[in-house]
A and B are shown apart, each in its own frame.
Chain A
Amino acid sequence: MAYELMKGTRVLDLTMVFAGPVSSRILASLGAEVIKIESAVRPDVFTRGNVYPENDPGTEPWNRGSLFHSLNAGKLGITLNLGTDKGRDLFKRLVKISDVVMENYSPRVMENWGLGYAELKKIKPDIIMASMSGLGHTGPLKDFYMYVPGMEGMSGLTHMTGYTDEPPMLSGFSYGDWTSGGTSAAAILTALYHKKSTGQGQFIDLAGREALIANVGNIIMDYTLNKRVENRMGNDQPYAAPHGCYRCKGEDNWVNIAVENDEQWTGFCKLIGNPDWCKSEKFGNSLNRWQNRADLDKLVEEWTLKQDKFEIMASFQKAGVPAGAVLNMKEVNLNSQLIERGFFNVIDHGEGIGERPIPTQLPAKYNNKDSFIPARAPKFGQDNKYVFGKLLGISNEELSTLEAEKIIGGAPSFPPGRPTRLNLIEAQGAGQIDANYLNELREKYKKDIGTKGTAKSDPK
């Protein structure tokens, strides 16, 4: 799903790794022209260099990483060394023709380069600048070293995640990074709306931790109102029972069941064949079920253990009782609901990689707007000619000089591409590996996934 609603908006994206690229990916999937800026000395190493197709880094590993493909589809890619005067001059020329600059350097870096908001505003009075960081652009702790565990941990979310008597838990999917990026996109879109209505630009201070706090605001209210600190409670939800994740037939198969009222409880009992314990007074009303939920969960799991998670989901949902299978990444990629609605775009990543499904970052379906399939994530420096040549009007000769001076172009300084240590993942039980994945995908998507690879780097 991608729609051309923000066509005509140009974004200069200096961000790296996860949070920033999520934000600009959302803008790109709305049709904005996002120019991702890397340099030979500063490529987006972590995502470019991880998880290669069929675990083969190839000769240009930096163009093959799945994380990079997923997070950067639909963007243009240029190389520009901002550590040089000439590089910064070129950047300023780009600012002059852009609407948004986004960055996630540590505070001060942009100022030290003379590229802080005050400077950019002189070049382009209505520029929007978004600075993304863990704790914000100002304040005594702004220079903290932190990654996603810091953002999640300092927001209250980690404290609230996990089972009551077990350690607080980090999310399994870098949720804090995504939330930081998703919230940054919301901020930039708000600023773009304002700019379009009034012509005014502005500065956005996006602290990943504050974005996360907003997402647990309802829990924090117990403290601001009653000075009470809520605690993590696993999969419990107050006064809902049975409510949890139950083991099913097969290896590592689970189903979520969420009975939230008496009507659903009656439906639930009927679905599992009205065993005697369903009639017990212990479970006779929602308060009793909540108080005796530990006993109830055991009884429910005795039943689910012999069932298939998808069959439970289908029969429960048919009867109006909320239930859902716990899907692994294979099952998500093959999920009929997601595929039918166009959640995945099958994107051709070129020779040696071929077509692979890439998930949407802004899953909104607009009923009467033009949609498009995003271009593959940019190969390293692939759009230098379009951006410097066509947008800035720099001659081919000058471009060659800039390349020779290492202002633009060059190969990324990149560690040797290493395959993912699948054996280690298996030994640690950190993941499930399906060797037949290409065939599974081909069958489901009815496409020759992973083999075609006809798209060239195809610069604009």
Chain B
Amino acid sequence: MTEQAFDKIVVLDCTDGIAGAYCTKLLADFGANVIKIEKPGKGDTTRRMGPFLNDEPDKEKSGTFFYLNTNKKSITLNLESETGRILFLKLVAKADVVVENFAPGKMSALGLSYESLTKKNPKIIMTSITGFGQTGPYRDYKATNLVTFGLSGAMYTSRPATHTSSRPVVEGGRQAEFTTGLLSFSATVAALTNRIDTGKGTWIDMSAQECLASTLGANISEYPYLGLSRKTNPFAIHGYPIGYSVPCKDGWISLTPGLGGAPNIPLLIEKPELLEDPFFTKPAARMAEPEKFDALLTPWLKEHSKWDITKQAQELKLAFTPVLNPGELEEDEQLKAKGFFVKTQHPVMGEVTYPGAPFRLSETPARVGKAPLLGEDNETIYRELGFSKENMVTLIEQGII
């Protein structure tokens, strides 16, 4: 069996939704024993979030839940009950990390503050993920992916280069949540590494607003130097709005002539007579009349497919690349060669293919594994805590597990 980085680490995942689950998914995929603690009966919110296998809404058929919870175990436990709290603290005693995303103050109200956890386990690391952090005037504000996008500044910059006064648009998917999960993972791993030397745990306070704002550090820093707030991508003024999507025969390509100019474009579009045309030698000329520049390219692009254009352009050292849709990735030759997508078996969903890990480690690669059924590991884990089958029936009857 291949070794994984976090083989010996036990994580209690009391989060709900995407950000916390992505943080603990990375820990689990790289070896940690992650026990997801879900509400009895309902389970995690993402179990009710599509896409569902065959569009059948079922808590064991959500693709979102599956993707975010690979390689984890699941137990059900009602943290709001006194017995639930006691059981949780028993688990804490044997754990290394607790990740939670309750509203600020809620863990304390449940008698599960960081201080109370350290009494059971002085070395515990607790990672608290919220919209705005545990302190400050927005502490009790409600965050969603969209709200976080606005309050981090990211949304203001997200407009097409050619329509900079138009309505801002949020990045596709749930980027605020994934980014928060990614940074929470890094913050937690740093604490685990530090603990090897110091023997001490810590409480980590993560704010989604800050996580997303840190992704646009470069944009944010233009204000204290110049008073500038960009409304679109920063490449827009470098001579041509690079990187925007232009239509071709079978979809779109990202047109990126590069910052210095686009001398090879005439060769690509089979118009060598344009080699000396200012449009292709002087960025300023393109900038002055972007529609005219587009009109020179569009007819040729519309006759060619995105991969045909890309391969020819790459031969000419032009950074043109296809805009791929989520359905074009599984068959992508590069991803196939790298073995990016992975497959596993699930008792309800059958064989499931999912996107692999975001990074590759040569000696401790990510493992492949399914997401857990709701409460799948109750028996094993509560037995380890010393509960007999009869005790467990009582706990179930009381709605604790």
Contact = CB atoms under 8 A, between A and B. Distances in A.
B143 interface: yes
B194 interface: yes
A340 interface: yes
25 contacts: A26-B186, A136-B360, A145-B314, A147-B242, A149-B319, A155-B329, A158-B252, A159-B324, A167-B252, A179-B182, A194-B5, A197-B196, A204-B359, A219-B326, A221-B64, A222-B326, A225-B53, A226-B51, A229-B326, A237-B144, A326-B155, A356-B221, A363-B211, A364-B186, A367-B204
A289 to B, nearest CB: 16
B222 interface: yes
Contacts of B234: 174
Interface in A414-455: 420-422, 424-425, 428-438, 441, 449-450
B63 A218 contact: yes
B150 A183 contact: no
Given A145-B318, A193-B5, A332-B153, A51 B228 contact: yes
A222 to B, nearest CB: 4
Interface residues of B, number: 157
Nearest to B218: A67
A146 B317 CA distance: 10
Interface residues of A, number: 172
A168 B249 CA distance: 15
Contacts of A162: 160, 169, 172
Contacts of A326: 150-151, 155-156, 168
A98 interface: no
Contacts of A229: 325-327
Given A173-B219, A368-B200, A337 B142 contact: no
Given A140-B334, A168-B252, A424 B174 contact: no
Interface string A321-332: 111111111111
Interface in B215-267: 215-234, 236-237, 242-247, 252-254, 256, 258
A211 B359 CA distance: 7
Nearest to B317: A145
A158 B245 contact: yes
B133 A156 contact: no
Contacts of A336: 136-137
Nearest to B70: A217
Interface string B178-197: 11001111110111111011
B380 interface: no
Contacts of B357: 214
A255 to B, nearest CB: 7
A190 B252 CA distance: 37
Which residue, of A30, A214, A323, A335, has the highest number of chain B Cβ atoms within 10 A?
A: A214
